[in-house]
Amino acid sequence: MTASPAPSDASAYKDTLNLLETPFNMRANAKVREPELQAFWAEQQIYEQLSREGLSPERPGPVFTLHDGPPYANGALHVGHALNKILKDIINKHALLSGKRARFVPGWDCHGLPIELKVLQGLSSSERAALTPVSLRQKAHAYALEQVELQKSGFRRWGIWADWDQPYLTLQKSYESAQIGVFGAMVLAGHIYRGLKPVHWSPSSRTALAEAELEYPDGHSSPSIYAAFPAVQLPEALATKLAAAGLNAEAATASGGLAVAIWTTTPWTLPANLAVSVNGRLDYSVCAVTCRGETPAPAASHLLVAAELRDSLETSLGLQLTPLLTVKGAELEGIVYRHPLLERTSPVVIGGDYITTEAGTGLVHTAPGHGVDDFNTGRKYNLPVLCPVDEAGNLTAEAGPFAGTNVLKDANPTIIAALEGTGLLLKQERYEHRYPYDWRTKKPTIFRATEQWFASVEGFRDQALAAIASVTWLPESGRNRIEAMVRDRGDWCISRQRTWGVPIPVFYHRETGEVLLNADTLAHIQTLIGEQGSDVWWQRDEADLLPPAYADQASQWRKGSDTMDVWFDSGSSWAGVLGGLRGGITPAGPAVGDGALTNPEHGAAAAAPPQATPLNFPADLYLEGSDQHRGWFQSSLLTSVAVNGHAPYKRVLTHGFALDEKGRKMSKSLGNVVDPAVLVEGGKNEKQEPPYGADVLRLWVSSVDYSADVPLGPGIVKQLADVYRKVRNTARYLLGNLHDFDPRPQTEGGNAIAIEDLPLLDRWMLQRTAALIDAVSADFERFEFYRFFQALQNFCVVDLSNFYLDIAKDRLYVSAANSFRRRSCQTVLSLVVERLAVLIAPVLCHMAEDIWQNLPYPVAEKSVFERGWPKTEADWKTTPLNLNQASLEDPEMQEIISSFLNCDQLDDEGPIGEIKGLRRLVNRQLEICRSKSIIGSSLEAHLHLDLSEGNVSQGLRQVLGLIKESTQLEVDNLKDWLLVSSLSLAFEGNANPAPDADANADTNADTNANADTNANADTKQLLIPPSTELGITIGIAKAAGQKCERCWHYETDIGDHAAHPTLCGRCVAVLAQNPPK
Partner RNA sequence: GGGGGCUUAGCUAUCUGGUGAAAGCACCCGACUCAUAAUCGGAGUCAGGCGGGUUCGAUUCCCGCAGCCCCCA
Residue with Cβ nearer RNA (47 or 375):
375
Task: Provide the minimum distance between the beta carbon of 576 and RNA in the complex, in angstroms, as a whole number.
Answer: 23
Task: Provide the minimum distance between the beta carbon of 755 and RNA in the complex, in angstroms, as a whole number.
Answer: 24
DSSP for residue 864? G
Task: Provide the minimum distance between the beta carbon of 778 and RNA in the complex, in angstroms, as a whole number.
Answer: 13
Q: Are 66 and 616 in contact (CB under 8 A)?
A: no
Residue with Cβ nearer RNA (143 or 788):
788
Q: State how far the Cα of 676 lies from the Cα of 82, in Å rounded to an integer.
A: 7
Task: Provide the minimum distance between the beta carbon of 294 and RNA in the complex, in angstroms, as a whole number.
Answer: 30
65 CB-near residues (< 8 Å, 6+ apart): 102, 103, 578, 615, 616, 617, 619, 620, 621
Residue with Cβ nearer RNA (224 or 586):
224
DSSP for residue 121? H
Q: What is the DSSP string of 514-550?
A: -EE--HHHHHHHHHHHHHH-TTHHHHS-HHHHS-GGG
Q: How would you classify the pairing of strands 472-474 and 336-338?
A: unpaired
- Cis ω on the peptide bond leading into residue 618 (within 30° of 0)? yes
Task: Provide the minimum distance between the beta carbon of 461 and RNA in the complex, in angstroms, as a whole number.
Answer: 16
Q: How would you classify the pairing of strands 66-67 and 619-625?
A: parallel
Q: Are 226 and 262 in contact (CB under 8 A)?
A: yes
Residue with Cβ nearer RNA (401 or 936):
936
Residue with Cβ nearer RNA (140 or 1023):
1023
Taking alpha carbons only, the member of 499, 644, 515, 625 closest to residue 572 is 644
**Torsion 567-568-569-572 (CA) sign:** positive
Task: Provide the minimum distance between the beta carbon of 621 and RNA in the complex, in angstroms, as a whole number.
Answer: 20
Residue with Cβ nearer RNA (901 or 934):
934
Task: Provide the minimum distance between the beta carbon of 783 and RNA in the complex, in angstroms, as a whole number.
Answer: 12
Taking alpha carbons only, the member of 232, 236, 226 closest to residue 257 is 232
Task: Provide the minimum distance between the beta carbon of 212 and RNA in the complex, in angstroms, as a whole number.
Answer: 6
Residue with Cβ nearer RNA (217 or 513):
217
3-state secondary structure 211-251: HHHEECCCCCEEEEEEEEEEEEECCHHHHHHHHHHCCCHHH
Task: Provide the minimum distance between the beta carbon of 705 and RNA in the complex, in angstroms, as a whole number.
Answer: 4
Residue with Cβ nearer RNA (190 or 217):
217
Q: Are 743 and 752 in contact (CB under 8 A)?
A: yes
Task: Provide the minimum distance between the beta carbon of 679 and RNA in the complex, in angstroms, as a whole number.
Answer: 15
The C-alpha angle 137, 541, 509, rounded to 5 degrees, equals 115
Residue with Cβ nearer RNA (17 or 597):
17
Task: Provide the minimum distance between the beta carbon of 567 and RNA in the complex, in angstroms, as a whole number.
Answer: 10
Cα–chain center distance at 590: 34
DSSP for residue 653? E
Task: Provide the minimum distance between the beta carbon of 452 and RNA in the complex, in angstroms, as a whole number.
Answer: 15
Q: State how far the Cα of 324 lies from the Cα of 314, in Å rounded to an integer.
A: 15
Task: Provide the minimum distance between the beta carbon of 731 and RNA in the complex, in angstroms, as a whole number.
Answer: 8
Residue with Cβ nearer RNA (524 or 809):
809
The C-alpha angle 1030, 1032, 1034, rounded to 5 degrees, equals 130
Task: Provide the minimum distance between the beta carbon of 688 and RNA in the complex, in angstroms, as a whole number.
Answer: 15
Task: Provide the minimum distance between the beta carbon of 224 and RNA in the complex, in angstroms, as a whole number.
Answer: 13
Distances (CA, A) of 61 to 27, 68, 243: 37, 21, 85
Residue with Cβ nearer RNA (381 or 657):
657
Beta-strand ranges (E) seen in 926-970 are 941-946
Residue with Cβ nearer RNA (328 or 739):
739
- Residue 174, classed as helix, strand or coil, is helix
Q: State how far the Cα of 318 lies from the Cα of 320, in Å rounded to an integer.
A: 7
Q: Are 461 and 260 in contact (CB under 8 A)?
A: no
The total number of residues shown for the chain amounts to 1077
Residue 21 has phi, psi (to 5 degrees) of -150, 110
Task: Provide the minimum distance between the beta carbon of 764 and RNA in the complex, in angstroms, as a whole number.
Answer: 16
Residue with Cβ nearer RNA (19 or 32):
19
DSSP for residue 602? G
Task: Provide the minimum distance between the beta carbon of 812 and RNA in the complex, in angstroms, as a whole number.
Answer: 8
Q: What is the DSSP string of 393-458?
A: SBB-GGGGGGTT-BTTTTHHHHHHHHHHHHT-EEEEEEEE----EETTT--B-EEEEEEEEEE-GG
Taking alpha carbons only, the member of 582, 546, 72 closest to residue 537 is 546
Q: What is the DSSP string of 501-513?
A: S-B---EEETTT-
Residue with Cβ nearer RNA (407 or 735):
735
Residue with Cβ nearer RNA (148 or 486):
486
Q: Are 427 and 318 in contact (CB under 8 A)?
A: yes
Residue 264 parent element (H or E): strand 258-264
Residue with Cβ nearer RNA (627 or 875):
627
Residue with Cβ nearer RNA (27 or 292):
27
Residue with Cβ nearer RNA (552 or 722):
722
Q: State how far the Cα of 1037 lies from the Cα of 935, in Å rounded to an integer.
A: 10
3-state secondary structure 782-850: CCCHHHHHHHHHHHHHHHHHHHHHHHHHHHHHHCCCCCHHHHHHHHHHHHHHHHHHHHHCCCCHHHHHH
- Cis ω on the peptide bond leading into residue 203 (within 30° of 0)? no
Q: State how far the Cα of 966 lies from the Cα of 887, in Å rounded to an integer.
A: 9
Task: Provide the minimum distance between the beta carbon of 601 and RNA in the complex, in angstroms, as a whole number.
Answer: 34
